[in-house]
Structure 1
Amino acid sequence: MPFVDHLGMTVDDLPAAIVQWDPVLTALGYTRTDAHASVAWDRDGATELILFPAREPGTGPHRHGTVGWQHLAFDIATRAEVDRLHAIAVAAGWSVVREPKLYPRFNERYYASFVEDDNGIRIEFAHNPPRTTPPRGTVAGTGV
């Protein structure tokens, strides 16, 4: 069962948002469905991401750090794929928040990049593989 059924976000300019989101979500394996007043992407019938036009145009962009949206992190299989997706997003007009790099403050394996669209919506491409060896001071297989 997916963690989230769907995620709906409001954007100032739906056609412009589609130009930014479609290459990224397509590269992630999502399929696009256009509706009358929205557009949605889903992957294998699981979590769906939907963009809606703002009811009041000109009310954006969202400001990172204010109440509301923080960011959406996509779980990416490899560092090379993080780099590839980051390049696709930048080519589609996303602004670079943080270039792909290691984030040892999270853990020694965490590699990610952050980008933001014209609406201030921030996403992360994160490669965080599981630990391959038990942490120091523990006995393998026991958790202690």
Structure 2
Amino acid sequence: MSEPGTLHHVELRVRDLAAAVEDWGWLLGELGYEPFQEWPDGRSWRLGPSYLVVESTPLGGGHDRRMPGLSHLAFHAGTRAEVDRLWQAAPAHGWSQLYSDRHPFAGGEEHYAAFLENAERFKVELVAEG
């Protein structure tokens, strides 16, 4: 039984499912998620009781994290060394490094994290423990 208030799932609509499977699949795999579901227009990955879905959008347009709506997803990403490893590896897997001039303290002096964005402008924050 899951704790009330915990996320059941998050669903992201994407223009390019193949690209999303590559970039999200890599990142989620690195964070411990396992492939969960697969259907012609989508995929999902699960970690514990929660899962993340990427699904082809039936409508045109694009996501812009700076517009009203979802800004980003923040994930616990392990130690500072693990966050640094993901930061370095991310560009080879479809993720751009954000705020490199302030990395790893773009979220503040007490907040060690890496900020990444993929080609569809979905942003993630990888937060170090402690």
TM range (shorter): 0.7 to 0.9
Deviates further, 79-88 or 21-30: 79-88
Q: TM-score, normalised by structure 2?
A: 0.85
SS at match of 1:119: coil
Report the TM-score when normalising by structure 1.
Answer: 0.78
Q: Would the aligned equivalents of 2:73 and 2:123 in 1 still touch at CA under 8 Å?
A: yes
Deviation above 3 Å: which 4+ runs of structure 1?
A: none
Matched residue pairs, number?
124
Q: Hey, what does 2:44 align to over in structure 1?
A: 40
Tell me the distance in 1 between the aligned counterparts of 2:128 and 2:19. Answer: 28
Q: Quick check: which one's strand share is greater?
A: 2
Which segments of 5 or more consecutive residues in structure 1 lack a partner in the other structure?
130-144
Shift of 1:88: 3.0
Partner secondary structure for residue 101 of structure 1: coil
The equivalent residue for 1:91 is: 92
Computing the radius of gyration from Cα coordinates, the structure with the larger value is 1
Distance 1:18 1:104, change over 3 A: closer
Alpha-carbon separation, structure 2, partners of 1:55 and 1:94 = 24
SS of 1:102's equivalent in the other structure is: coil
| Local SS of the residue matching 1:84 | helix
Give the superposed CA RMSD.
1.8
Aligned-pair identity (%)? 31
Q: Which runs of 5+ in 2 are unaligned?
A: none
